[in-house]
Homo-oligomer: A and B are copies of this chain.
Amino acid sequence: MAETCACIIARIEDLARERGLSLQVMLVGSAARSTWLSGDHDLDIFLGVPLGDDLGFALEIARLIAPDHEEKYAEHAYVHARMDGFEVDLVPCYLVEDAARLLSAVDRTPFHTKYVGSRIIGREDDVLLLKQFMKGVNVYGSELKVGGFSGYLAELLVLCYGSFAGVLQAASAWRPGQRLDLEGQGIERHGEPLIVVDPVDPGRNVAAALTLDRMLLFAGAARSFLAEPKLDFFFPPPRAPLSDEELIALLNARGTMPILLEFAAPDVVEDVLYPQLRKAEGSIKALIERSGFSMLRSDVSTYRDRAVLLFEMQVWQLSIARARIGPPAWEAEHLARFLAAHPRPLFGPYIANGKVVVEEARRYTSARDLLAAKIANLSLGKHLAASIRDGHNIYAGYELLGIKDEGFRIFLAQYFRAKFPIG
């Protein structure tokens, strides 16, 4: 890897020199500080441009370096390519003097590399162990799909607690609101489950992307591991896709009704897609429960070019008759309006607990019909709404057997069989 890096950096420097550009090329991230885990985000090479210069020239050089590249976009454009078997990001950034005065988030990365670089020496293995542990218990990655720990956060934890074991011991006792401040910069922040003050930018919480449940899963796994250390924490057995027979057996044992909404995944990065999937999951859950049905659990996923939302129902069928509770019986005007709005009840109006009630027929007695009828009216994320409008399928119960994709079956295996190493 070191060779690949050196080679790429040398070629970038050559091209810059040819063009008379002032460019500071930096290997950043875990690869720069020997805390790089195989399968990690791989190589991050930053092309530092003096403040005031145009990032476009740097981007141009990045394109030349990797002819067979893909252009991506975070806060600004960068180049992603596969080189010598590594995934390489070539990221133009500004050379900022002070990390508190950044132009964009990527400009912060060289400061992280600098801060961790010298301090981590001798504890690289602890970082690697911690990252692999986090990966094994499924809390590694600060992308929105995961909501877990970033590599930089893992490094700071090792710096803070001294070792892999030190991190686990400390994390065992974490509660929501836990606060770490390596440099004692004392910035107050509230409302996030874990607050880790960024040593190079004290206004920023390094753990801002970490969700409460991932934080607590890590803490619980740390407790379990210390009580009974096993290799499985680092390398859990891979999850095999669910077979038809297994799915049938699970549905029968659980006696629930799974309802699946399936559609083409919009062509956007996961950090855009997943928040929209989660938002849709919440909107649909609210719709369904507001109507009297009851959900046990739900999840979202993507596989191949498809996206799915899975809702597992405890109550998916309701009576036709339902009660509409109206105003207090003595409010004559409200009552007249209420009765005018419900002219042909199945039963009533009658009085119960001082209020006028009518019983009338429900429009949708099954959760599936409700979802099918209302999906078009829900407020969904922009890309998701368009994709669902273009076409979607709803599967319920054993109809899930119709989807044979391995990726979908692995998602089902995870949904129905995941083990969480807590307690």
On A, residues with C-beta under 8 Å from B are 172-176, 212-213, 216-217, 219-220, 223, 253-257, 292, 294, 296-297, 312-315, 317-323, 329-330, 332, 335-336, 339, 346-354, 356, 359, 361, 365, 416-418, 420, 422-423
A348 touches B420 (CB 8 A): yes
Complex A-B: 10 CB contacts under 8 Å:
A213-B353, A217-B329, A219-B329, A220-B351, A253-B320, A253-B346, A292-B294, A314-B322, A315-B319, A317-B317
B256 touches A329 (CB 8 A): no
Partner of A422, one of B297, B315, B351: B351
Q: In the docked arrangement, what's the CA distance between A318 and B295, Å?
A: 11
* Contacting residues, chain B, for A352 (C-beta < 8 A): 213
State whether A422 and B256 are in contact (beta carbons under 8 Å apart), knowing that A212-B354, A223-B332 are contacts in the complex: no
B423 touches A339 (CB 8 A): yes
A349 touches B420 (CB 8 A): yes
Q: In the docked arrangement, what's the CA distance between A418 and B416, Å?
A: 48
* Contacting residues, chain B, for A319 (C-beta < 8 A): 254-257, 296, 313-315
State whether A296 and B314 are in contact (beta carbons under 8 Å apart), knowing that A174-B330, A213-B353, A349-B422 are contacts in the complex: no
Chain copies in complex: 2
The minimal Cβ–Cβ distance linking A41 to chain B, given in whole angstroms, is 26
State whether A423 and B335 are in contact (beta carbons under 8 Å apart), knowing that A213-B352, A219-B329, A351-B216 are contacts in the complex: yes
State whether A330 and B420 are in contact (beta carbons under 8 Å apart), knowing that A296-B322, A320-B253 are contacts in the complex: no
* Contacting residues, chain B, for A314 (C-beta < 8 A): 292, 318-319, 321-322
State whether A219 and B330 are in contact (beta carbons under 8 Å apart), knowing that A253-B346, A321-B256 are contacts in the complex: yes
B323 touches A297 (CB 8 A): yes
A350 touches B420 (CB 8 A): yes
State whether A365 and B320 are in contact (beta carbons under 8 Å apart), knowing that A223-B332, A330-B175, A336-B423 are contacts in the complex: no
B317 touches A296 (CB 8 A): no
Q: Which of A294, A319, A332, A356 has the most CB of B within 10 A?
A: A319
* Contacting residues, chain B, for A255 (C-beta < 8 A): 319-321, 365
CB-nearest residue of chain B relative to A217? B351
Given contacts A212-B354, A356-B423, 14 further A-B contacts (CB under 8 A): A176-B354, A219-B329, A220-B356, A253-B321, A253-B361, A292-B294, A294-B315, A315-B319, A329-B422, A347-B418, A349-B422, A350-B418, A350-B420, A351-B420
State whether A254 and B346 are in contact (beta carbons under 8 Å apart), knowing that A213-B352, A420-B351 are contacts in the complex: yes
The minimal Cβ–Cβ distance linking A245 to chain B, given in whole angstroms, is 18
B296 touches A323 (CB 8 A): yes
Q: Which of A312, A323, A330 has the most CB of B within 10 A?
A: A330
The minimal Cβ–Cβ distance linking A337 to chain B, given in whole angstroms, is 10
In order of increasing CB-CB distance, the 8 nearest A-B pairs are: A255-B320, A216-B329, A256-B319, A254-B321, A314-B319, A339-B423, A175-B330, A213-B351
* Contacting residues, chain B, for A212 (C-beta < 8 A): 353-354
CB-nearest residue of chain B relative to A314? B319
Partner of A296, one of B220, B257, B321, B418: B321
Q: In the docked arrangement, what's the CA distance between A420 and B357, Å?
A: 11
CB-nearest residue of chain B relative to A330? B175
* Contacting residues, chain B, for A312 (C-beta < 8 A): 321
